[in-house]
């Protein structure tokens, strides 16, 4: 099937051709004809499947056919809600590219920057808003945005919103939208809470499942290296000496870890930048733009920040730290191999991460190729881990977790809070005993 076969209007077809589109992806083939008829959609699709065009093109065509203005002013009729700033910017850019030959305005709304420029653009009138939940609610509460005319509503990356604790805000946003509307709901995975929300807001939806998360993109070459944790940076620097690695997206589990990797790469003469939640929006966007323009060879990212990264012809994805959740591995490596381009996914596996590697292979149903010959082979670190555990107060607290060097930040914080709470209780008990002894 060709783009011309999707029953899209000629101005949109011209825009698609200028963007290099010739053949639609499977999700576009299944979704676009039905969305043009006005049906709701429940899409289970991982990143890189072409889902943005799958919902953007029918919305743009519907807006052209329904060119209603109120008092001569453009009316906001389409709302796309996305979890991250980068993803909101990326989706808005896609809308603008597809609408280059039609009079439809799109504005991205997100936090981390001044709201004044966004206010000015909204005041001119826009048909499409692409927003993150927090800033959208702020502007709704300030009476700057009204959603009472929304006819097309898209919820993208719903499972990530759940992980980021945004579901309450999303439900609040839904209360401001008319009940009569066309809804498109996308999620790479379907946890019970997400499924429940989908059932609440969708009416007889078309269900489209494309490249489910357990099926790793076949065109991506996957390999891993066993390496000690303290030698991961050395191995990364060694691999980057290979000029075939034209561009590398490196995944770090933590923000601090991302900054540390960048610092060590820069010290070795490798041009690198980091992108994560602690960076300002301007800094994140600059780093992303530099990487896309190939001014920066290596971009080090955390998982949440990377959900909005869309880069054509990315040659390598490197898992510096293996993810705790196996599905996240598929999201990560999906950054390469986009738009039918090949790519390579490299993973570093320390001794403590072996269970994570096993979980990934179990989910994907594939054995990942081990690269055994390299300058930094894995040494048996179990003795070191026992020492590390004893310094943390005994091996019992990390039994079955092989040193547990990859605890979630929140759990660590909660643990510290509990320690402080226990300490305060002990002091209070001692103080009360002293008071009693002086009576």
Q: What is the DSSP string of 383-435?
A: HHHHHHHHHTT-GGGGTTTTT-TT--HHHHHHHHHHHHHHHHHHHHHHHHHHH
Phi first, then psi, for residue 393 (nearest 5°) are: 110, 30
| Pairing of the two strands 128-131 and 106-109 | parallel
Does some domain include residue 389? no
Quick one: pLDDT band at residue 258, thresholds 50, 70, 90? very high
Q: Coil, strand or helix: which one is 269?
A: coil
Q: Are residues 233 and 255 in the same domain?
A: yes
Lowest mean pLDDT among 67-76, 107-116, 339-348, 353-362: 67-76
Mean pLDDT of 385-403: 42
- The fraction of the chain above a pLDDT of 90, given in percent, is 55
Q: Are residues 180 and 311 in the same domain?
A: no
Q: Are residues 206 and 229 in the same domain?
A: no
Cα-Cα-Cα-Cα dihedral sign, residues 155, 319, 346, 279: positive
Instruction: Answer with the one of 177, 210, 243 that is the final residue of a domain.
Output: 210
Does some domain include residue 122? yes
* 176 pLDDT above the threshold of 90: yes
Q: Note the pLDDT tens digit of each residue in 13-57.
A: 999 999 888 888 889 999 999 999 999 999 987 666 788 999 999
Q: Are residues 253 and 120 in the same domain?
A: no
Q: Note the pLDDT tens digit of each residue in 337-362.
A: 655 556 899 999 999 999 999 999 98
Please tell me what DSSP assigns to residue 338. G
Q: Are residues 206 and 235 in the same domain?
A: no
| Distance between first and last Cα of the chain | 91
Does some domain include residue 424? no
Distance, in Å, from the CA atom of 53 to the CA atom of 28, rounded to the nearest integer, reads 7
* 68 pLDDT above the threshold of 70: no
* 403 pLDDT above the threshold of 50: no
Does some domain include residue 48? yes
Lowest mean pLDDT among 132-136, 196-200, 388-392, 404-408: 404-408
Please tell me what DSSP assigns to residue 73. B
Does some domain include residue 395? no
Distance, in Å, from the CA atom of 231 to the CA atom of 384, rounded to the nearest integer, reads 14
Distance, in Å, from the CA atom of 324 to the CA atom of 347, rounded to the nearest integer, reads 13
Quick one: pLDDT band at residue 425, thresholds 50, 70, 90? very low
Rounded (10°) CA dihedral 144, 147, 148, 152:
150
- Among 134, 112, 110, smallest CA distance to 121 is for 110
Instruction: Answer with the one of 336, 364, 383 that is the final residue of a domain.
Output: 383
pLDDT of res. 212:
52
On the CB side of 426, CA atoms within 13 Å amount to 6
Phi first, then psi, for residue 152 (nearest 5°) are: -135, 120
pLDDT of res. 205:
94
Lowest mean pLDDT among 53-67, 114-128, 329-343: 329-343
Rounded (10°) CA dihedral 90, 91, 94, 100:
-110
pLDDT of res. 390:
47
Q: Are residues 371 and 315 in the same domain?
A: yes
Q: Are residues 251 and 356 in the same domain?
A: yes
Mean pLDDT of 259-272: 96
Quick one: pLDDT band at residue 280, thresholds 50, 70, 90? confident
**Which residue range forms the structural domain that includes residue 105?**
3-210
Q: Are residues 162 and 231 in the same domain?
A: no
Angle at which helix 167-175 crosses helix 133-141, to 10 degrees, equals 40
Q: Coil, strand or helix: which one is 242?
A: coil
pLDDT of res. 439:
39
157-185 core/surface letters (b: 16 or more CB in 10 A; e: else): bbbbbbbbebbebbeebbeebeeebbbbb
Q: Coil, strand or helix: which one is 22?
A: coil
Total domains present in the chain: 2
Q: How far is CA 216 from the centre of its chain?
A: 17
Beta-carbon contacts of 342 under 8 Å, excluding residues fewer than 6 positions away, are 219, 220, 221, 336
Residue 251 contacts residue 264 (beta carbons within 8 Å): no
Both structure tokens of 207: 């269900």
pLDDT of res. 340:
53
Q: Are residues 338 and 379 in the same domain?
A: yes
Q: Note the pLDDT tens digit of each residue in 224-251.
A: 999 999 999 999 999 999 999 999 999 9
Does some domain include residue 412? no
Predicted TM-score (pTM) of the model is 0.66
pLDDT of res. 215:
54
Residue carrying the six token digits 């743009």: 60
pLDDT of res. 164:
80
Mean pLDDT of 265-275: 95
Distance, in Å, from the CA atom of 111 to the CA atom of 280, rounded to the nearest integer, reads 10
Per the model's pLDDT, the better-predicted residue between 116 and 72 turns out to be 116
Which CATH number covers residue 260?
Answer: 3.40.50.300
Does some domain include residue 398? no
Per the model's pLDDT, the better-predicted residue between 77 and 329 turns out to be 77
pLDDT of res. 163:
75
Per the model's pLDDT, the better-predicted residue between 56 and 333 turns out to be 56
């Amino acid at each position: 099937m060709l783009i011309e076969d999707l029953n899209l209007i000629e101005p949109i077809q011209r825009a698609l051709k200028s963007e290099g589109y010739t053949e639609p992806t499977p999700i576009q083939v299944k979704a676009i004809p039905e969305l043009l008829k006005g049906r709701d959609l429940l899409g289970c699709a991982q990143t890189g499947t072409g889902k943005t065009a799958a919902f953007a093109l029918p919305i743009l065509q519907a807006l052209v056919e329904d060119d209603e203005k109120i008092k001569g002013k453009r009316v906001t009729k389409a709302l796309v809600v996305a979890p991250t700033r980068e993803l909101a910017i990326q989706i808005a850019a896609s809308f603008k590219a597809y609408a280059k030959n039609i009079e439809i305005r799109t504005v991205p709304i997100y936090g981390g920057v001044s709201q004044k420029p966004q206010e000015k653009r909204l005041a001119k009138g826009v048909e499409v808003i692409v927003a993150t939940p927090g800033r959208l609610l702020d502007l709704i509460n300030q009476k700057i945005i009204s959603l009472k005319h929304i006819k097309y509503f898209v919820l993208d990356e719903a499972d990530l919103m759940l992980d980021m604790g945004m579901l309450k805000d999303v439900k609040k946003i839904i209360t401001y939208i008319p009940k009569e509307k066309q809804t498109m709901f996308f999620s790479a995975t379907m946890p019970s809470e997400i499924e429940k929300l989908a059932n609440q807001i969708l009416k007889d939806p078309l269900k489209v499942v494309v490249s489910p998360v357990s099926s790793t993109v076949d065109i991506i070459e996957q390999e891993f290296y066993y390496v000690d944790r303290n030698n991961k940076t050395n191995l990364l620097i060694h691999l980057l000496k290979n000029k075939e690695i034209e561009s590398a997206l490196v995944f770090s589990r933590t923000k601090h870890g991302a900054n540390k990797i960048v610092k060590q790469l820069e010290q070795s003469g490798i041009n690198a930048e980091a992108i994560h939640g602690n960076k300002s929006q301007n800094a994140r966007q600059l780093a992303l733009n530099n990487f896309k323009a190939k001014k920066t060879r290596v971009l080090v990212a955390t998982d949440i920040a990377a959900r909005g990264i869309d880069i054509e012809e990315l040659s390598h994805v490197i898992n510096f730290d293996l993810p705790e959740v196996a599905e996240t591995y598929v999201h990560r490596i999906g950054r390469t191999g986009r738009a039918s381009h090949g790519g390579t996914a490299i993973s570093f596996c320390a001794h403590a991460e072996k269970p994570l590697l096993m979980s990934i292979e179990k989910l994907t149903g594939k054995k990942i190729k081990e690269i055994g010959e390299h300058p930094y082979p894995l040494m048996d670190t179990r003795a070191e881990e026992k020492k590390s555990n004893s310094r943390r107060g005994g091996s019992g607290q990390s039994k079955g977790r092989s040193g547990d060097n990859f605890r979630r930040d929140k759990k660590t914080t909660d643990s510290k809070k509990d320690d402080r709470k226990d300490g305060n209780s002990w002091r209070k008990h001692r103080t009360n005993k002293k008071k009693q002894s002086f009576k």
